[in-house]
A and B are shown apart, each in its own frame.
Chain A
Amino acid sequence: MKAAVRMISAALAAAALAAAPAPAPLRQRTVPASLLPSASDLPAGWTPAGPPENYDGEGLYGYIDGGSEIFLQYDFRRVEVGRYKKNEAGRTKDITLDVYRMGTPRDAFGIFSIRREGGERRLDLGGFPNWTSPEQAAFAAGPYFLNIVGFETTAEDTAVFLRLMGRRLAEAGNRPLSLRDEGGPWKGLPPESVQEDSIRYIKGPLAAQGESEILAAEFWAFGAGTEAASAKYGPDGRKLVLIEFEAVPASLLDRVRDVFAEYLTEGKVEDGVLSAKNVAGHVFFFALQGRRAALVFGKTDESAARSLLQAAVTPR
């Protein structure tokens, strides 16, 4: 118990000293009028299927309606939409390229990160985080998030467009966001046994709810000073959500305990750690240290979850 108290105290002291990381300033760079490929730039056999479309700000509702909400919470600025087609063996393949310009590289990485699960196929794209599949591919480059959606396409089709757009974005001066160098809540994720391609940057309330319904309540203040990062760990993919508060909400533990009580079972409080299980037997652990809180959950054994929680709230 005394050791635990010392650990908590040390964690609090470290957390108190740590200043909230400031967003990196957006570098000025020359951006071409359009990042979409022209007809002459397209891969062999592909042709434009209509003029490009542009949506900015809340005009995004006119394109993806309710899907806009989460983009707006990541400071969406504008999107260029290009549609392309290719006739092959009597079938028409379609590709839609969405080039989203977000507020900052952090925002672009964030919206990219929450749409991947980890473990997807990746390409060597000059360090740009990416994933690809036969009908969809995505990557983040500077303040841009690229989403490629195909129909009747193959893995090679989407990969060709992924490489093409990767080159274009790199030529436009965009660089990968370095999680190692960039300050953010992900800096606190324990590196041991992390699945690196599952790291997410959680900014607004919708992304937070997407991580866990536990984070859906308004008291967390996502979008109003609270941010988080998450990642999967180990072969069982237990998840850690590391939450950083600008100011810790009042009575946070009580409120989290109420949420646990409403939806989970076998709740316990031990050494300041809340734990419970859901109907599927997945374990949940929560702890608060200073301005940082950690939520661990998944289909895993309790000791693994508890170890991850402890590592998350131990200063490095």
Chain B
Amino acid sequence: MDHDEILELTGEKTASVPEAVSRRVFFKLGAAGAAGAAGLALARSLHAQDKPADHKPPAQQPADIKTNVDEIRAIPRTKDSMPGRFPGRVVRVETGPAVAGGKIDAARVEKAIARGMAELTGESDPAKAWAQFVTPKDVVGIKINPIGGKTISTKPEVVEAILAGLAAAGVPKSNIVIWDRRLHQMPDAGFTAERFPGIALAGTEMRGPNNDFYDEAGELWAKDNIDRGAKFYFADLEMPYNKNLLAAMINQGKESYFSKVVTQKVAKIINVPVLKNSGGTVTLCLKNLSYGSLSNTSRLHKIWAKSVAEPVGFPYLRDKVVLNIVDALQAQYDKGPGANPQFVYDAGMMMFGTDPVAVDTIAHEYLVKVRIEKGVQQFDNARNREFLDIAAGLGLGIAHREKIDLREIALG
């Protein structure tokens, strides 16, 4: 499919932002109209005396910051390009008591994944279901999120169940890589060589044998883990990094390079993010891929929506991510994305889809509802969905809720 076909398929090509409630009819001046108008006029005239002023010259707005996203639109799509085999299809499995107080029922997780995969693919045979996405010859990367440590990271039990699925499809252990941007954070989340024998654990940022990010010559151990020869994500902003931060960013300047894990090492990627909030939205499939695969990301937080969505349009992600499996056995509804246990709860849920935009859209809707119920948010602010619209505009998936085929399953 070419780009236009994908846009047509997802419906994003002709989509327009729904009109907000008419502002002219919203404020009713009814019986209190005259007094109300007078009161408001009074308030206006009074606060006008305060010499209304903007405090500083307007800061450069995210929309004004140029990126090289247009370059990637021209790159031909492949049969595996997002939104993948099932555009707009999202399977949500209520796992029941798969988790209680942080304890995972691995058998129930495995069952949830089997049910989710069957519903997503239409194949009840796990081997056939998984074989829709991988072949025994593929090097498969499993992208986890370990930044929340033991509190709120991808659960090892989820990855173990995925490994069972890959094994059923004939993928040998030697062809599997569990990876994240930060190798050193993986053990704390339970991803160790002891627990996953025969499976490679990889990262971009890393400490060397001296347990430091820098070698004796002052060079970053990770400097060759980013692919400076591949296409990179350009954004016209930068910030200076000190030595500590550079260890986590690998390079500074206006270019963010992709990890060699995605450009060279793996042929297929299974994305396994964990459900957390970031302000009034989610940090999930798209963010786990973009910020998890790039160097030099600190500066990108200033253009959060763009930088979450646009890098996923590069072929290293767009054409390799074949499946998204959301670990929402536990989720965090507030003060994310950093781990804050008081806002972590047993959500008992997993989500499945090849379309990361649709999955994030459903997750956004779900988490905003939770946040409103918990009283930490009052309404869904359209600006919090901007990253979804950007991703949809790149043809990476479907962001229109009414076009998403949500299938819900509750385990007994």
Contact = CB atoms under 8 A, between A and B. Distances in A.
B372 A69 contact: no
Interface in A89-145: 94, 96, 115, 117, 120, 133, 135-136
A256 B207 CA distance: 49
Given A62-B248, A270-B36, A151 B52 contact: no
A8 B47 contact: no
Interface string A249-274: 11111100110111111111111110
A1 B239 CA distance: 54
Given A59-B242, A66-B283, A284-B378, A133 B44 contact: no
Contact of B381 (A66, A135, A263, A287): A263
Contacts of B338: 64-67
A1 B42 CA distance: 11
Interface stretch (B21-29, B66-74, B357-365): B21-29
B341 interface: yes
Interface in A12-35: 12
A250 B52 contact: yes
B39 interface: yes
Please classify the interface of chain B as helix (H, G, I), strand (E, B), loop, or mixed, using the class held by over half of its residues. loop
Contacts of A57: 242, 245
B298 interface: yes
B54 A250 contact: yes
A253 B38 CA distance: 14
Contacts of A273: 39
B32 A62 contact: no
Nearest to B211: A51
A213 interface: yes
B219 interface: no
Interface stretch (B145-153, B157-165, B227-235, B403-411): B145-153
Interface string B373-412: 0011111111110000000000000000000000000000
A5 interface: yes
Contact of A133 (B52, B247, B342): B342
B86 to A, nearest CB: 29
Nearest to A271: B39
Please classify the interface of chain A as helix (H, G, I), strand (E, B), loop, or mixed, using the class held by over half of its residues. mixed
Given A133-B342, A210-B279, A272 B26 contact: no
Contacts of B47: 248, 252-253, 288, 290
Nearest to A217: B383
A247 B242 contact: no
A278 B43 contact: no
B75 interface: no
Contacts of A12: 46
B381 A149 contact: no
B280 A247 contact: no
Contacts of B370: none
A287 B47 CA distance: 11
Contacts of B39: 1, 4, 269-273
A189 interface: no
5 contacts: A61-B245, A62-B245, A96-B149, A149-B341, A263-B380
Q: Which 9 A/B pairs are nearest by Cβ-Cβ distance?
A: A67-B338, A62-B248, A272-B43, A250-B52, A59-B244, A271-B39, A261-B26, A135-B341, A272-B39
Interface of B: 20-23, 26-30, 32, 35-40, 42-44, 46-47, 50-56, 102, 147, 149-151, 239, 241-242, 244-245, 247-249, 278-280, 283, 291, 297-298, 301, 334-342, 372, 375-384
